[in-house]
Chain A
Amino acid sequence: MAAIEILGLEKTYMVGFWRKRPKRALQPLHLTVEEGEIFGFLGPNGAGKTTTLKMLMGLVFPTSGTARILGHEWTDPEIKAQIGFLPEQPYFYDYLTAHELLDYYGQLSGVPAKDRKRRVEEVLQRVGLTDIQGVQLRKFSKGMLQRAGIAQAILHNPKLVFFDEPMSGLDPLGRREVRDLMEQLKQEGKTVFFSTHILSDAEALCDRVAIIYKGELRGVGAVEDLTSTVQGKVEVVWQGTQIPASMKALGAECHVTGDTVRAVLAENQQDAAIDALRREHIRLIAITPLRTSLEAYFVEKLQPSQAASAGKTVGTAV
């Protein structure tokens, strides 16, 4: 069973105070997220990620389309007991302490009274919020709010979590911890769906990603496939700054960085390259098949229809 099936969700906001005009935030989106995977929803700011998540949470109503979550209609309130949601830049009742907030949310999510205290302590530990007994949320820093937000999303032990920009507002150590936490959630068999505009977070973490730009889905796939080996190229790295003439003859593009040289050349020249280095008694460090980075894929996906949509705008303006 798929954890999330988005069936053509689409959103057009009406903007403007006086004469309202439509603004398309999301084109009809079709997307399936399998159970147990970490799925990255990538896109630059304003791409429509938050809009999609808010529709899935029932906070904003789609212009058209439906979705299924954990096999149920997405509007079924009962499935909400099995999902957790971290909003973008979360904000909470600031007159409560984190313990009170989580206790209240535990009640609303139907966590039995006898388990609640223990669960609250557990999740606060887990997100690294300690020494906050008696501190009202109004005194929390941005990073602490983010941690509290993650705590409330996993409090009721949901099967599926939605995180909107989970690393934002965190320092490098905090990002690392959140990454580890998402990996643990996956190990516990949970499905993680998170949005981000930071590619390195996604590349390190995701099983699959979708790329969305200007409300339009531009690509979906396993990270491994998207960062697939570039047709028949290898990267050869050796020690020193010396570039043998025979290497150049093989058609290698060489770059010296510090006291190593990186050369990119055709895979079928690999053996010849090794021989060339041996002859010169140069120490070989690594040979790896060349992969495109997720970033390269991402940029590529944003390019073509940037032009296309520019064309469209001109077209409609005429």
Chain B
Amino acid sequence: MSPRIIQIAANTFREAVRDRVLYNLIAFALLLSGAAIFVGQISIDIERLVVVDLGLTAVSLFGVVIAIFIGIGLVSKEIEKRTLYTVLSRPVRRWEFIVGKFFGLAGTLVVNTFFMAIGVFGALFYVAHKFSKPDALILVALYFIVLEFLIICSLALLFSSFSSPLLSAVFAFSLFVIGSFAEDLRGFAGLAHGVTRWFATAAAYLVPNFSALNVISAAAHEQPLSSQLILHNTLYALFYTAMALSGAVLIFERRNLK
């Protein structure tokens, strides 16, 4: 990998840190400890379930919001402010810029998720006083959440490469919401007829399948997850991310800067 990609990624991470993105961890910690103390008091054997369900959902939502809000500005803001001029007039290829930005944002989210995961396990220990074997499922759920972030980062970047931050945010949030119901959408598509069926199926398979990546409830209820699912989800997320990033590169390669 070209050193420039790492340099651009590192600078993107530094920007996020300086923009106080990691401060969201404070809100997360408050939310989680509040919840843990609360369920600790009512204690009717569902503490673990509540903490895991609520904790992981918060990890996912916080991350999605960050991914979208940073992602949508990554390219368009640099074009708008003209900070790109002095970057692209160096031996930086345009695709390296996109890929570097992606890794910078993805890295920010991984670090953020890491701290949140510590919080979730801390809260879990607080209410359950021990760790048990099914807690490993939480790691799988967290891994899937990170995969979800990769897809969202790449989509936000894709939108950012051709539209304004506001429109990009709308697109990205819509896709996040629709994608969360992707399985239902596929089901509906199967019920339709004719051309409608054709279009509905295409749409259902085109949107990112976030429902398959959401195993929060399974982790909370200690239902086992197959290794096949892990493999399948990994390949799916990497493929989807690569496609979205390629789209972003293709668009950005042709773009006239303002």
Asked if A pairs with B, the answer is: yes
A residues neighboring B (CB under 8 Å) = 54, 57-61, 77-78, 80-81, 83, 85, 87, 89-93, 95-96, 104-105, 107-110, 149, 152-153
- Which of the candidate stretches B37-45, B85-93, B126-134 sits at the interface with the other chain? B85-93
Q: How many residues of B contact A (CB 8 A)?
A: 25
Please determine whether B257 and A85 come into contact, CB atoms closer than 8 angstroms. no
* Choice from A57, A61, A78, A91 contacting B91 with Cβ under 8 Å: A78
CB-CB < 8 A to B3: which residues of A?
107
Distance from A56 Cβ to chain B, minimum over Cβ atoms (Å): 9
Please determine whether A87 and B88 come into contact, CB atoms closer than 8 angstroms. no
CB-CB < 8 A to B15: which residues of A?
93, 95
B193 within 8 A of A: no
CB-CB < 8 A to B93: which residues of A?
77
* Choice from A60, A91, A108, A152 contacting B4 with Cβ under 8 Å: A108
**When A and B form their complex, which 3 residue pairs have the shortest distance between CB atoms, in order from nearest?**
A85-B89, A95-B18, A87-B85
A104-B7, A107-B3 are known contacts. Are A91 and B82 too (CB-CB below 8 A)?
A: yes
Distance from B213 Cβ to chain A, minimum over Cβ atoms (Å): 32
Please determine whether A80 and B91 come into contact, CB atoms closer than 8 angstroms. yes
Please determine whether A54 and B257 come into contact, CB atoms closer than 8 angstroms. yes
CB-CB < 8 A to A153: which residues of B?
86
CB-CB < 8 A to B90: which residues of A?
80-81, 105, 108-109
B11 within 8 A of A: yes
Residue of B at shortest CB range from A82?
B91
B residues neighboring A (CB under 8 Å) = 3-4, 7-8, 11, 14-15, 18-19, 81-93, 254, 256-257
Distance from A83 Cβ to chain B, minimum over Cβ atoms (Å): 7
Please determine whether A81 and B91 come into contact, CB atoms closer than 8 angstroms. yes
Between A and B, 23 residue pairs with Cβ closer than 8 Å are A54-B257, A58-B88, A58-B89, A59-B89, A77-B92, A80-B91, A80-B92, A83-B89, A85-B86, A89-B82, A90-B82, A90-B86, A91-B82, A92-B83, A93-B83, A95-B18, A105-B86, A105-B90, A108-B4, A108-B7, A108-B90, A109-B90, A149-B86
CB-CB < 8 A to A87: which residues of B?
82, 85-86, 89
The binding surface of chain B is classed by DSSP as helix
* Choice from A57, A78, A83 contacting B85 with Cβ under 8 Å: A57
Bound CA–CA A80/B4 (angstroms): 14
* Choice from B81, B85, B88, B91 contacting A109 with Cβ under 8 Å: B91
Bound CA–CA A54/B88 (angstroms): 11
Bound CA–CA A244/B82 (angstroms): 63
Bound CA–CA A252/B255 (angstroms): 61
Residue of B at shortest CB range from A156?
B90
Distance from A103 Cβ to chain B, minimum over Cβ atoms (Å): 10
Distance from A228 Cβ to chain B, minimum over Cβ atoms (Å): 36
Residue of A at shortest CB range from B88?
A59
Please determine whether B7 and A59 come into contact, CB atoms closer than 8 angstroms. no
CB-CB < 8 A to A57: which residues of B?
85, 88-89
* Choice from A77, A89, A91, A110 contacting B83 with Cβ under 8 Å: A91
A91-B83, A95-B18 are known contacts. Are A108 and B91 too (CB-CB below 8 A)?
A: yes
Bound CA–CA A107/B6 (angstroms): 10
Distance from A91 Cβ to chain B, minimum over Cβ atoms (Å): 5
CB-CB < 8 A to B254: which residues of A?
61
Please determine whether B256 and A60 come into contact, CB atoms closer than 8 angstroms. yes
Bound CA–CA A271/B254 (angstroms): 67
CB-CB < 8 A to B91: which residues of A?
77-78, 80-81, 108-110
Bound CA–CA A109/B90 (angstroms): 6
Residue of A at shortest CB range from B85?
A87
A57-B88, A80-B90 are known contacts. Are A91 and B7 too (CB-CB below 8 A)?
A: no
Please determine whether B86 and A60 come into contact, CB atoms closer than 8 angstroms. no
Residue of B at shortest CB range from A76?
B91
Bound CA–CA A83/B84 (angstroms): 16
Please determine whether B83 and A59 come into contact, CB atoms closer than 8 angstroms. no
